[in-house]
Structure 1
Amino acid sequence: MNKINEAISALIPYAEWAMLFFVIGGGLFLLIYSRFKPYLMFRHAIEVVKGKHDDPNDPGEISHLQALSSAVAATVGLGNISGVAIAIYQGGPGVVFWMWLTAIIGMVIKFYSCSLAVMYRTIDSSGAIESGPMHYMTKGMGKKGKPLAIFFSIAGLIGFLGVFTVNQFTQTFMSVVNPDVTIAALGDFNWKLIIGLTLSVLTSLVIFGGLKKIAKVATAIVPFMVALYFIAVLVIMFTNLGGIIPSIKLIFQEAFNFETAIKGGFWGLVILGVRRAVFSNESGLGSAPMYHGESKTNEPVQEGLVAMLGPFIDTIIVCTLTALTIIISGAYLEADNNGIAMTLLAFEKSLFGYGHILLMLIVAAFAMSTLFTYSYYGTKCLTFLTNIKIGKFFNIYYVATITFAAITSVGVVINLIDLAYALMCIPNMIAVVYLAPKVNNSLKLYFKKVKDGES
């Protein structure tokens, strides 16, 4: 594992620059090319999620709310809790500013990619809807899209593993419960292995139920876990009102303090912010289009607007609350460990000595919902590379990696996922930018319908 990690680490600098170029560069192009129209329809997007513009006769398998909940379930999770802590640990509070900037750009990327998912979705041999980057690459780009789709799908077999989530939940459980001491009477066990096996069993019970079961579970869990996290953080905010404004000021001040980043310099800090934001909200990866493409709608732009809300919820709201909690508590100055240990310390200090226990319960909900949804993404990738029958075997491989992730180090996991994410961004962003004119044409027609009151 050490040799594998060394090999991956050597590739990370190249992956960082690729992600910066394709996500930020491609996102800025889409931002200008769209003339900011998706942002102007933000309120309309919320109305669509509420079901105001639903048509029960539209094709699709799941509602707008279910699609958004399932996609958010995969993004609002450990990336928001420990991913933010990792970013601050490596780059200081200023890295949050660059995460915000990436999220704003990520909103327009989600709009275009998820519009394309509906525009180019197909029906498979079993009669089910197939959608995602692989399909808008092959259908929208023709022969030149096939290599991109294959490249994306291969990278997705690693990128769509729930290894980071499992690893950080295991670290949380070991830190809070400390079973080697508290449950020592039961004997000397490898508790990380036990946690991994337990998560494998629980995940298996859900993911072998298919998309509708995943969407149902995710829709039930996401509002609850986000609400509970909000309440906990808001309690911290209200008990530390005097620290909110100074913390926000510190983020802006440190955003241009390029000596704080471990990599050093302007680009080191920016790249760190991009990596952690993309890790958190998955803009540019091509994961969200797989769920949003299943929505019951005949309007591709409508679903693109719904998808645009994902990065806003994930990074602008949830990640900011986590960052403020860490900064206000002073945990970023005290934590010695990379990962969720910093957030646990922040909650313990800010919630009367019991916050770390509450956070462990929240993390458990985040972890399970993320594990449920990620399995679906990987199955899509393997199905595209092979066929429906073989694609189902991804879940077996997926469940096996859960146990592996529980016992390995956070450094190995972060490097592995960062590399896979960068490789997925390259083909996906090429396809999204190439097919952007198709979305613009659809946007123009939809914009007119909204103005005329037809949609």
Structure 2
Amino acid sequence: MFKSIDTFIADIASFAWGLPLLLLLIGGGIYLLVRIKFMPFLFLGHAFAVLRGRYDNETDDGEISHFQALTTALSSTIGMGNVAGVAVAIAIGGPGAVFWMWVSAVIGMSTKFFTATLAVLYRGKDDAGNIQGGPMYVITEGLGKRWKFLAVFFSLCGLVGALPVFNVNQLTQALNDIIIKPAGLFSGFESNLVIGIVLAVITGIVVLGGLSRISKTASRLVPAMVVLYLIMVMIILGSHISEVPKYISLIFTDAFSASFYKGDTFLGGVVGGLILLGIRRGAFSNEAGIGMAPMAHGAAKTNEPVREGLVAMLGPAIDTLLICTLTALAILVTGVWQTSEANGVSLTVTAFENGIASYGKYALMLCIAVFSISSLFSYSYYGTKCMSFLFGTKYQGYYNYIYLASIILGATTSLSMMINLIDTFFAMMAIPTMLSTIILAPKVIEATKKYVAKLKF
């Protein structure tokens, strides 16, 4: 029965991530980039100044600082998409998949700029009178009530897309591989169930405290783990320094030859299949165009929408261009992508074990645990936002209990089923997010020109 369900979900995911969505995400992202003439990329330095709090104003609307908004958004994206998702991409597509993840990230930076700017520009109010941001409010406030069906569709998909089943599944696998099995304590379903229950309890303590507690926790955990992860990968690359130029070159050449690609073809060829794989994994990694992160950025304490757009643009750069690249190089230079049968997080664990002797896997386990658990906090916030939009704020708390139950589900089910389930709903969430962003793009361009003009005085 589970095999049939797994196959059915995989077929739906393949259909959802077909040519139309590829054109919408990548074609739409390129359109946005060209329309704004690459302007946001000229203000990366200014974006870091905003992030450091130079332009913070406590009297502005919103709940959290620019830094907390970015780290909350990053805590959901810097997770298993960076550690396990990259491994999945390389296991199926080889080094060339990394190149298409990069392409997805660069285009995604532009998309994030537009979606986050709109999230502040068109903030709405929930039924309790609180200011809210996100694609559902962008649609209803920016496009009007006759487009509300798109906002409802996004929110319905978000209820499932925000479930943490993939992250929990891979964290469970990592705990089993690194700690529980070597200690002789693994007992199959029972072990996974215990892990799921413990994670649900930890998550419940934080998420039931609301956005303030989530953002404060994320702003402390995420930066420290990014630095630790960076140090560990640098140790691996330093000990395999002679292999680094070879694999950087192979990432570029294999992107157009797909010599190591093992998946299904797309548009009649293996290169097409490789491009689609890289885009899917890139989208899962940085979520540009999906619509999750704008919900966090829409809560930023600012009355300058463009300012938050510039901060949000840093997300895909940190998430995919930095963290995913580090993971990919660690897997490639150690050679485990060709010598190991492991997939997902187990492949990354093998790379760290080979690259930093015996203690490498334990340091990785610490990073994986923090990345994954912090993402559990953020996704719950996104789900409750969708719940309150659909049914009202008095019911949003019920989502947290569904969310906590899904943690146990994710810990006890298969990887393929979980990754395809989330991929499917991510694809469906992208449709209303990208359509509304493309339609409202002129408003962002107008706001950007006004903001840039003010900066020059």
- The TM-score, its normalising length taken from structure 2, stands at 0.96
| Mapped contact 1:68–1:306 kept (Cα < 8 A) | yes
- State the AA in 2 paired with 1:332: W
Q: Select between 235-244 and 405-414 the one with higher mean Cα deviation.
A: 235-244
Structure 2: distance between partners of 1:46 and 1:181: 45
Superposed, which structure 2 residues align to 1:95-244 within 5 Å? 95-179=97-181, 182-183=184-185, 190-244=190-244
> Within 1, Cα distance between the matches of 2:292 and 2:188?
41
Residue aligned with 2:256, SS = coil
Specify the alignment match of 1:355 in structure 2: 360
1:263 pairs with 2:268: no
Contact kept in structure 2, 1:121 and 1:131, CA below 8 Å? yes
Alignment check: 8 A CA contact 1:179 1:191 kept: no
The answer for unaligned runs of 5 or more in structure 2 is none
* Cα distance in 2 between the residues matched to 1:433 and 1:294: 22
The aligned residue for residue 333 of structure 2 is 328
Q: Which runs of 5 or more residues in structure 1 are unaligned?
A: none
Matches of 2:80 and 2:66, distance apart in 1: 24
Give the counterpart letter for 1:430 in structure 2.
Answer: L
Query: Equivalent residue of 2:416, what SS?
Result: helix
Task: Tell me whether 82-91 or 138-147 shows the greater mean CA deviation.
Answer: 138-147
Residue of structure 1 equivalent to 2:280: 275
1:342 and 2:347 correspond: yes
2:56 to 46, 54, 57: 54
Displacement of 1:181 in angstroms is: 5.2
Question: Are 2:290 and 1:298 aligned?
Answer: no
Q: In the alignment, what sits opposite 2:431?
A: 426
C-alpha separation between the residues in 1 aligned to 2:181 and 2:337?
A: 26
The farther-off stretch of 97-106 and 351-360 is: 351-360
Q: How far 1:101 sits from its partner (Å)?
A: 0.4
Residue of 286, 289, 292 corresponding to 1:287: 292
Paired position in structure 2 for 1:440:
445
Deviations 1:217-258 (A, max 9, x none): 000100111111111111112222222111101111111113
Q: Which amino acid aligns with 2:293?
A: A
Cα distance, 1:413 vs. partner?
0.4
Contact 2:13-2:421 within 8 A present in 1 as well: no
Once the two structures are superposed, residues 188-221 of structure 1 have per-residue CA deviations (whole angstroms, 9 ceiling, x without a partner) of: 9710010011101111011000000000000010
Q: How many residues align?
A: 450
Q: CA deviation at 1:331?
A: 0.9
Q: How does the TM-score come out when normalised to structure 1? A: 0.96
Aligned AA for 1:6? T
Are 1:7 and 2:8 counterparts?
Answer: yes
Q: State yes or no: 1:77 paired with 2:79.
A: yes
Name 1:250's counterpart in structure 2.
250
Q: Whole-Å Cα distance in 2 between the matches of residues 268 and 107 of structure 1?
A: 23
Amino acid at match of 1:118: V
State the Cα distance separating 1:11 from its structure 2 match: 1.7
Q: Is the 8 A contact 1:19 1:275 kept in 2?
A: no
Once residues 422 and 43 of structure 1 are traced to their aligned partners in structure 2, the CA distance between those partners, rounded to angstroms, is 32
Report the more deviating stretch, 6-15 or 296-305. 6-15
Partners of 1:360 and 1:180 lie apart in 2 by 14
> In 1, distance between residues paired with 2:285 and 2:254?
21
CA distance in 2, matches of 1:374, 1:11: 23
Per-residue deviation, residues 287-306 of structure 1 (Å, max 9, x unmatched): 11101111111110110000
Given that 1:83 and 1:280 are in contact with CA atoms closer than 8 Å, whether structure 2 keeps it comes out as yes
Which is worse superposed, 3-12 or 342-351? Answer: 3-12
Task: Report the 3-state secondary structure (helix = DSSP H, G, I; strand = E; otherwise coil) of the residue aligned with 1:74.
Answer: helix
Query: 1:335, 1:341 within 8 Å by CA — same for their partners in 2?
Result: no
Equivalent position of 2:93 in the other structure: 91
Mapped contact 2:140–2:151 kept (Cα < 8 A): yes
Q: Deviations over 1:55-75 (max 9, x none)?
A: 222111110000001000110
Summarize deviations over 1:56-111 as a string: whole Å, max 9, x none.
22111110000001000110111101100000001000110000001000000000
Contact 2:74 2:319 in 1 (8 A): yes
Aligned-pair Cα RMSD in Å: 1.4
1 CA distance for matches of 2:188 and 2:128?
Answer: 49
Equivalent AA in structure 2 for residue 110 of structure 1: K
Q: Is the 8 A contact 2:13 2:423 kept in 1?
A: yes
- Within a 5 Å distance, the mapping from 1:13-24 to structure 2 comes to 13-17=14-18, 18-24=20-26
Match of 1:38, as an amino acid? Answer: P
Q: Distance in 1 between matches of 2:218 and 2:336?
A: 31
Cα pair 1:145 1:431 within 8 Å, conserved: no
1:287-343: CA deviations, max 9, x gaps? 111011111111101100000000000000110011110001001002213211110
